[in-house]
């Protein structure tokens, strides 16, 4: 009976018998998301404390202003700016590599340390992006880590709870148009894929031109022109998304980025920790917060049903 390679390799998915050399390809695929648009888009500013305060003010509503000739000046009711605050959050990633792990040859990487260093950095940014969208403030103690409010919990003046409301073009524009009263320019909209697909389906005053020879159809809107101006529709993995297409639970936020910052006390930095054996230990740490300079500069909704 002839000897085949299958006889030599044995059974099972993981072949381990015989003299045939393995063929382990020299790359590693990682399908985890690494897009962090909010963290990348907002301007970063430096701060000098773990608790940051700032002032917010607004003009009173316009009123009829008419005085008689020669009228005496009278006392006017004045207001002072309101003081707001945010607390910085400490983001960390830890990893350690044994001496042997770093000494042996690995497929798909120059060294285990360099691979884990890059992976930790990407994971750190993902955690920051999640907090910028969904963070919920915790004041913190010696035993409880402080946290800051993300967009969905920052008390934005134009956020509405729209549980069960279907997101139509009229509903979308009714919310975004609120920005007119604040003299804002909401240029960026962060939305999950269901909401982005819904906005791509808006048809009013939308024209798409493409040569017939291309033989394809476009149904994607990355920039939407509303009565309140142009808005870039940005895909966000961390806005709330409903469990099913027809159920409520979707959120989206439109902001004027001039009034939002990432406040950084310590930019992300890697430290090598003390030696405690035949391994090297590392810590990646950074401290930052979302700074909402004006709560009236953000609009959006939670609880929408996608209109697909």
pLDDT tens digits, one per residue of 261-290: 999 999 999 999 999 999 999 999 999 999
- pLDDT value for 127: 95
Half-sphere exposure for 150 (CA within 13 Å, toward CB):
19
Indicate the CATH number for domain 37-54+82-304.
3.30.2400.10
Q: How much is the pTM? A: 0.83
Within 10 A of 53 (CB to CB), how many other CB atoms are there?
A: 9
**Strand 43-46 to 188-191 pairing:** unpaired
pLDDT at residue 30 is higher than 60: no
- pLDDT value for 183: 75
Q: Using the 8-state DSSP alphabet, how is residue 61 labeled?
A: P
Are 244 and 161 contacting, i.e. CB atoms less than 8 angstroms apart? no
pLDDT cut 70: percent of the chain above it: 83
Backbone angles phi, psi at 200, to 5 degrees: -65, -20
116 Cβ neighbours under 8 A, 6+ residues apart:
95, 97, 282
- pLDDT value for 167: 93
- pLDDT value for 241: 93
pLDDT at residue 302 is higher than 70: yes
Q: How confident is the model at residue 1 (pLDDT cuts 50, 70, 90)?
A: low
168 Cβ neighbours under 8 A, 6+ residues apart:
307
- pLDDT value for 143: 93
pLDDT cut 90: percent of the chain above it: 48
Given the structure tokens 């159809």, which residue do they identify?
217
pLDDT in tens, 192-250: 999 999 998 886 555 544 455 654 444 455 888 887 888 899 999 999 999 888 888 99
Given the structure tokens 């072949």, which residue do they identify?
15
d(CA 40, CA 264): 13
Taking Cα atoms as reference points, which of 284, 267, 257, 265 lies closest to residue 148? 265
């Amino acid at each position: 009976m002839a000897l085949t390679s299958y006889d030599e390799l044995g059974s099972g998915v993981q072949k381990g018998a015989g003299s045939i050399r393995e063929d382990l390809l020299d790359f590693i695929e990682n399908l985890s998301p690494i897009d962090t648009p909010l963290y990348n888009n907002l301007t970063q500013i430096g701060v000098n404390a773990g608790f940051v305060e700032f002032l917010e003010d607004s003009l009173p509503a316009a009123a009829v202003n008419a005085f008689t000739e020669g009228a005496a000046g009278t006392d006017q009711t004045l207001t002072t700016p309101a003081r707001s605050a945010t607390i910085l959050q400490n983001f960390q990633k830890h990893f350690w590599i044994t001496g042997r792990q770093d000494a042996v040859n690995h497929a798909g990487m120059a060294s285990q340390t360099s691979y884990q260093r890059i992976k930790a950095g990407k994971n750190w940014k993902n955690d920051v992006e999640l907090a910028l969208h969904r963070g919920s403030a915790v004041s913190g103690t010696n035993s409880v880590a402080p946290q800051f409010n993300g967009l969905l919990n920052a008390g934005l003046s134009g956020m509405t709870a729209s549980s069960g409301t279907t997101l139509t073009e009229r509903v979308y524009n009714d919310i975004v148009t609120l920005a007119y009263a604040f003299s804002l320019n909401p240029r960026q909209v962060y939305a999950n894929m269901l909401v982005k697909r819904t906005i791509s389906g808006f048809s009013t005053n939308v024209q798409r031109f493409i040569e017939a020879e291309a033989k394809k159809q476009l149904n994607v809107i990355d920039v939407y022109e509303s009565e309140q101006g142009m808005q870039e529709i940005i895909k966000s993995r961390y806005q709330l998304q409903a469990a099913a297409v027809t159920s409520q639970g979707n959120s989206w936020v439109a902001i004027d980025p001039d009034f939002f910052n990432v406040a950084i006390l310590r930019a992300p930095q890697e430290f090598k920790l003390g030696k405690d054996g035949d391994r090297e230990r590392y810590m990646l740490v950074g401290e930052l917060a979302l700074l909402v300079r004006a709560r009236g500069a953000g609009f959006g909704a939670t609880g929408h049903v996608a209109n697909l």
